[in-house]
């Protein structure tokens, strides 16, 4: 399989590069059986199962109940903040800062650099909401907890190598396994950073009225899932820490390249399993649900107070087309077409959020990798790429030019 090489950004070719690296391994898997799993949760029953025993542990935004649950969760968080401040519900809240962090693999080094530089600049806010998908999910807990965790965030994106992310499988994995690579090293990497102490910090931040939401994709139900990490951390369930680690792993599990993540659940006394993969299968980045925007607009129309709000979106990738010479081969052509669809979806997500914020009177701010970054991308998770990209993001934040007020046309 030929691999396209970008002179600036892995962007849309990242998934094919990972598949190429995984398929080049010399290990051969015995062609004896397919991976096994328990039965999937029956059709229409996904919302009836729980992992840690709290009703707001996750939401299904494609369903009306999921939208309503998210809106209720936002209101409950705002109420906790007001209670701490000792003000009534009719009092305008303090400024709300909302941060959405996109997927992008190694490009997550850009967002990590922006957040570190932002802290050094001295004007980084405390976020009411942080959301993350894929590599953004790995960034989100550190961004949520604040500048005290900048060193760990930097380490995640400048110290790891491919060996900290995957174990290569043989070419027969395309037929006999659930992914071209085993991502158990990534789970171990996540576990080094996400421990009991960090989970307790997330729970305290949740108590103070702040939200950390992570997106995955449930392939059985063919639905996006938004996990309420603060509520899971607060639950006290013995599997809370493992669940959070698995959610971060699932959000980063590129379908076909990485193994999916199975969640054990019980329904009507019977065991089932849900199969989850990269949240980017549905969206590259998300912020607040439409129901929250509708509530905000209704209050504005009635002359009731609403919190002044700012949206911050970190796009761990480019927004301009990525040129590459495509070989006249089936895999190359198909891979390039899929890459184009993924890239277009990411751009559309940014525009969707921008349009929503304009409608809801939320101040919009966007950071993305510009044409000024020209380091060559040679292979997945190479420090020779991620470290300069981290420095690029940090330098732009320090200069104060990391953010723009609208997506480039």
Q: What is the pLDDT of residues 79-94, one digit of tens each?
A: 898 888 877 666 656 7
Closest CA to 317 of 339, 343, 349, 287: 343
Tokens in use for 348?
Answer: 């559309």
Yes or no: say if 144 and 202 are a contact pair by the CB < 8 Å rule: yes
Yes or no: say if 31 and 172 are a contact pair by the CB < 8 Å rule: yes
% of the chain residues with pLDDT over 70 = 90
| Residue 281: strand, helix, or coil | helix
d(CA 308, CA 327): 51
d(CA 393, CA 131): 19
Tokens in use for 3?
Answer: 């691999």
DSSP notation for 304-367: -----EEEEEEESS-SS----PPPSSHHHHHHHHHHHHHHHHHHHHHHHHHHHHHHHT-EEEEE
| Residue 212: strand, helix, or coil | strand
Yes or no: say if 244 and 235 are a contact pair by the CB < 8 Å rule: no
φ, ψ for residue 57, nearest 5 deg: -70, -25
- Distances 284 to 92, 146, 281, 335 between C-alpha atoms, Å: 32, 23, 8, 18
Q: What is the pLDDT of residues 183-205, one digit of tens each?
A: 899 999 999 999 999 999 999 99
Separation of first and last alpha carbons in the chain: 34
Yes or no: say if 260 and 235 are a contact pair by the CB < 8 Å rule: no
The residue with greater pLDDT, 26 or 319, is: 319
**What does the pLDDT read at residue 9?**
45
Closest CA to 181 of 194, 192, 170, 197: 170
Does the structure show a pLDDT above 60 at 27?
A: no
Element (H, E) at 129: strand 129-133
273: which DSSP letter?
Answer: E
Give residue 45's pLDDT band: very low, low, confident or very high (50, 70, 90). Answer: very high
Mean pLDDT computed over 99-119: 97
d(CA 339, CA 347): 13
Does the structure show a pLDDT above 70 at 22?
A: no
The residue with greater pLDDT, 127 or 78, is: 127
376: which DSSP letter?
Answer: -
Per mean pLDDT, which range of 20-24, 51-55, 263-267, 367-371 is the poorest? 20-24
**What does the pLDDT read at residue 182?**
87
Element (H, E) at 257: none
d(CA 326, CA 346): 21
**What does the pLDDT read at residue 349?**
95
d(CA 240, CA 236): 7
**pTM strictly above 0.85:** yes
Residues in the chain: 409
The residue with greater pLDDT, 354 or 179, is: 354
Mean pLDDT computed over 278-288: 93
% of the chain residues with pLDDT over 90 = 66
Q: What is the pLDDT of residues 290-337, one digit of tens each?
A: 888 888 888 888 888 888 899 999 999 999 887 888 999 887 888 788
**What does the pLDDT read at residue 170?**
76
């Amino acid at each position: 399989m030929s691999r396209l090489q970008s002179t600036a950004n892995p962007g849309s070719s990242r998934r094919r590069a990972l598949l190429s690296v995984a398929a080049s391994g010399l290990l051969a898997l015995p062609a004896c059986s397919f991976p096994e799993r328990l039965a999937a949760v029956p059709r229409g029953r996904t919302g009836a199962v729980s992992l840690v025993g709290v009703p707001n542990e996750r939401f299904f935004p494609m369903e009306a109940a999921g939208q309503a649950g998210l809106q209720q969760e936002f209101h409950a968080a705002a109420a906790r903040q007001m209670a701490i401040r000792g003000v009534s519900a009719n009092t305008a809240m303090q400024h709300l800062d909302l941060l959405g962090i996109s997927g992008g693999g190694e490009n997550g080094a850009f967002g990590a650099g922006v957040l570190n530089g932002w802290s050094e600049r001295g004007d980084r806010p405390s976020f009411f909401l942080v959301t993350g998908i894929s590599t953004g999910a790995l960034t989100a807990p550190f961004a949520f907890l604040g500048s005290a965790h900048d060193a760990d965030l930097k380490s995640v994106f400048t110290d790891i190598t491919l060996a900290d992310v995957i174990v290569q499988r043989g070419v027969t994995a395309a037929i006999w396994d659930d992914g071209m690579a085993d991502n158990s090293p990534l789970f171990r990497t996540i576990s080094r950073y996400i421990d009991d102490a960090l989970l307790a910090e997330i729970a305290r931040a949740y108590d103070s009225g702040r939200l950390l939401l992570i997106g995955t994709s449930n392939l059985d139900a063919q639905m996006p899932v938004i996990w309420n990490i603060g509520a899971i951390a607060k639950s006290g369930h013995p599997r809370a820490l493992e669940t959070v680690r698995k959610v971060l792993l699932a959000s980063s599990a590129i379908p076909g390249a990485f193994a999916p993540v199975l969640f054990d659940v019980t329904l009507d006394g019977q065991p089932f399993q849900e199969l989850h993969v990269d949240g980017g299968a549905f969206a590259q980045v998300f912020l607040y649900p439409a129901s929250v925007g509708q509530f905000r607009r209704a209050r504005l129309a009635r002359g009731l107070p609403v919190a002044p709000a700012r949206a911050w979106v970190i796009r761990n990738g480019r927004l301009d087309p990525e040129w590459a010479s495509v070989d006249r081969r089936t895999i190359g052509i198909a891979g390039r077409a899929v890459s184009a669809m993924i890239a277009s979806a990411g751009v559309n997500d940014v525009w969707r959020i921008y349009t929503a914020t304009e409608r809801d009177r939320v101040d919009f701010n966007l950071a993305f990798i510009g044409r000024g970054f020209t380091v060559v991308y040679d292979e997945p998770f190479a420090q020779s790429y991620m470290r300069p990209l981290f420095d690029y993001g940090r330098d732009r934040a320090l200069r104060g030019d990391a953010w723009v007020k609208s997506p480039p046309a």
